[in-house]
Structure 1
Amino acid sequence: MNPSSGLHVDLSVPGRAQVELDVAAGSVVAVIGPNGAGKSSFVRALAGLVPAQGVAVLDGTDLLRVPARDRQIGLVFQDQLLFPHLSALDNVAFGPRARGRSRKEADRRAQELLDVFGIGDLSHRRPRELSGGQAQRVAIARALATEPDLLLLDEPFAGLDVTVAMALRIELASHLATYGGIAILVTHEAIDALTLADEVLVLDQGRVAQRGTPREVAARPATDHVARLVGVNLLRDDDTFTTFSPRDVTVSLARPEGSARLQWSGQVASAQPHGDAVRLLVETSPPLLADVTPQAAAELGLAPGREVWLSVKATAVSRYGADADDR
């Protein structure tokens, strides 16, 4: 892998995504947004798997002018797409061999990567003999084997057991810390953005809705999807956003009296355990989250269908202006 000077993107996937982005070498960018926002279309355009217009310049080369097979890219999908007839070692060694490395050199590189991801002793197994987590480790190792300048990861932890996903997330974070190229990670999980990424790109309806560090985006969400990911309520009034924590929402069966300035009424849509609390989703306009104690949930009968009132004190809310890019 050659040290990358960075990535400049200004591309359009007709009818799906319009993205402008500049990424410094060595950065990890998490791409988040609701289903249909254009996330996968964006990374697939970079990989040459869907047609796109514009430019995507990586280390001085416009990827959109290069055939997909010749792009210095590693690609990981959530469903692995391993060669079923090849062993784990041969799957990982396939790329280096195809690019001219000797079998011995390619196999050595493959074994090193399998060792890094803790499955070196499974190198002889075929995909059907691997668990989901083991197969995804092979897929990530395969993507890295050619020493790509750009690593694209499209929901790499989706469908994995929570414990397996956490372990793989830690292993990937350790590798990315020393990775000299650029990594772009599509995810639905806030923890991926918070633990793996240097920057977060929020897509909504095919366009960039927000960009910033994980801390900035979490503190000042600009879309309902991001607010839900980080567990806060978001209201928008023209060019002003208002956010508040579910912990600061008071739930009652009667209309509240007193100093609370923000009030809503609606039906409980769901009630789920959330840490040591019960998290309610209430069908107000817009829908809001509220955390209550298990005792309060039982005493008030806070089950789906229950009519409730929500209130928040003015001192518990944060307000900021609408800004699609925090930089």
Structure 2
Amino acid sequence: MARYAVNATGTKKLVADLRVADRVHAAFTAEPGEVLAVIGPNGAGKSSLLHALAGLVDVDGSAVLGGIDMLRTPVRERRVGLVFQGQLLFPHLSALDNVAFGRRARGEGRQAAEAVARDWLERFGIAELAGRKPRELSGGQAQRVAIARALATDPDVLLLDEPFTGLDVSVQMALRLELGRHLRDFPGIALLVTHDAIDALTLSDRVLVLDDGRVAQVGPPAEVAAEPRTRHVARLVGLNLVPDGDDLIAFTPDAVTVSLHEPEGSSRLRWQGPIATVAPHGDAVRLMVHASPDLLADLTPAAAAELGLVPGKEVWLSAKATAVSRYGAREGAAPTGR
């Protein structure tokens, strides 16, 4: 059996310009075989974007795939696979019937649909669970069934809405590896909504950043991680981000020096504010300081104890100009040096 059926539209680019009420207005493209991670803070419109493509919410605009506007196509005729967070399997159906459901709904015969479903359960290593109902499955097993159900329909577009949410860390790691393997072979387009930097960095070909319902940044994962243009993304990848006119300044918490008095030297950037939190971070102590904007600083436990750092204490933060990355605040703006 072929690993995937290549559909007429599955080898074409997706060109979308979507408007969901007053919550989302996002224009983007995605290439065949590409995994596009969609990240952003809560309320940015990530799930609304996926639900618009799936036909689950009212939407204006267009989403053209292979010369056909998906938004003008009846929902049941769209070749879209959707994986929700929390599995959402049909509780009265077995794992096998859940995976076969999409093909059966398209009119395919039971025997053929079940053959494809068994193949997908085998690929995810859960063939022996074919007869179990969702209530008899663990969270990881149920999510494997949910992903298999979406892929079994040979979709042109695979929509993954935080597929690892609610799973144990070890289960997340195993499922991430499995999903990554299948996505590498998938000839269609995959959109992955995630809150996890690991997902965006390891599973995607490009990252689309939503902020307040608008596209704030699009690019390869390494590029977005190195030069984030929103504070949410900077936090995801562990960077401080400070606006400076038309530029942004990014730097790591361990590049920050903490002191009780204003530092000397014109080569240093400096900020002042009260400590919000003090917490262990690996071998270091991490401070969150309300310094307009909030900044992170890492220092050794010995240094933290010597300075008597506790929440509420006023401190100065500084960083050498040579330790920060400076680049344009807008997409496509040229960097202005290091």
The TM-score, its normalising length taken from structure 2, stands at 0.93
Q: 1:253 aligns with which of 247, 255, 260?
A: 260
Residue 216 in structure 1 maps to residue 217 in structure 2 = no
Task: Give the corresponding residue for 2:292.
Answer: 285
Aligned residues: 327
Task: Give the corresponding residue for 1:186.
Answer: 193
**Residue identity in the other structure for 1:212:** G
- Stretch of structure 1 that moved more, 36-45 or 112-121: 112-121
CA displacement at 1:160 relative to structure 2: 1.4
Task: Give the corresponding residue for 1:316.
Answer: 323
CA displacement at 1:297 relative to structure 2: 2.8
Aligned with 2:272: secondary structure? Answer: strand
CA displacement at 1:239 relative to structure 2: 1.4
Residue 268 in structure 1 maps to residue 269 in structure 2 = no
Tell me the distance in 2 between the aligned counterparts of 1:243 and 1:203. Answer: 19
Aligned with 2:185: secondary structure? Answer: coil
- The CA RMSD over aligned residues, in Å, is 1.6
Q: 2:29 aligns with which of 22, 26, 42?
A: 22
Tell me the distance in 2 between the aligned counterparts of 1:60 and 1:235. Answer: 43
CA displacement at 1:216 relative to structure 2: 0.9
Tell me the distance in 2 between the aligned counterparts of 1:279 and 1:260. Answer: 24
Q: Structure 1 pair 131/298, CA: closer, same or farther in 2 (3 Å)?
A: farther
CA displacement at 1:89 relative to structure 2: 1.1
Task: Give the corresponding residue for 1:37.
Answer: 44
Native 8 Å contact 1:211 1:325 kept in 2: no
Tell me the distance in 2 between the aligned counterparts of 1:142 and 1:23. Answer: 23
Task: Give the corresponding residue for 1:228.
Answer: 235
Task: Give the corresponding residue for 2:55.
Answer: 48
Native 8 Å contact 1:210 1:326 kept in 2: no
Task: Give the corresponding residue for 1:163.
Answer: 170
Native 8 Å contact 2:35 2:191 kept in 1: yes
User: Which residues of 2 match residues 67-146 of structure 1 at below 5 A?
Assistant: 67-146=74-153
Native 8 Å contact 1:216 1:326 kept in 2: no
Deviations 1:8-62 (A, max 9, x none): 1012112111111111110000011111111111111000001111110112211
Aligned with 1:135: secondary structure? Answer: helix
**Residue identity in the other structure for 1:109:** V
Aligned with 1:209: secondary structure? Answer: strand
Tell me the distance in 1 between the aligned counterparts of 2:95 and 2:332. Answer: 42
CA displacement at 1:326 relative to structure 2: 7.8
Task: Give the corresponding residue for 2:314.
Answer: 307
CA displacement at 1:5 relative to structure 2: 1.0
The TM-score, its normalising length taken from structure 1, stands at 0.96
Q: Structure 1 pair 300/118, CA: closer, same or farther in 2 (3 Å)?
A: farther
Aligned with 2:64: secondary structure? Answer: strand
Tell me the distance in 2 between the aligned counterparts of 1:304 and 1:218. Answer: 29
Native 8 Å contact 1:211 1:326 kept in 2: no
Native 8 Å contact 2:162 2:194 kept in 1: yes
Give the unaligned 5+ runs of structure 2. none
Tell me the distance in 2 between the aligned counterparts of 1:124 and 1:9. Answer: 40
CA displacement at 1:260 relative to structure 2: 5.1
Residue 63 in structure 1 maps to residue 70 in structure 2 = yes
Q: Structure 1 pair 5/307, CA: closer, same or farther in 2 (3 Å)?
A: same
Deviations 1:129-151 (A, max 9, x none): 11111111111111111010000
Q: Percent identity?
A: 65
**Residue identity in the other structure for 2:150:** A
CA displacement at 1:275 relative to structure 2: 2.6
Aligned with 1:177: secondary structure? Answer: helix
User: Which residues of 2 match residues 149-160 of structure 1 at below 5 A?
Assistant: 149-160=156-167
Native 8 Å contact 2:327 2:333 kept in 1: no
- Stretch of structure 1 that moved more, 46-55 or 250-259: 250-259
Aligned with 2:273: secondary structure? Answer: strand
CA displacement at 1:253 relative to structure 2: 2.6
Residue 297 in structure 1 maps to residue 304 in structure 2 = yes
Give the unaligned 5+ runs of structure 1. none
CA displacement at 1:303 relative to structure 2: 3.3
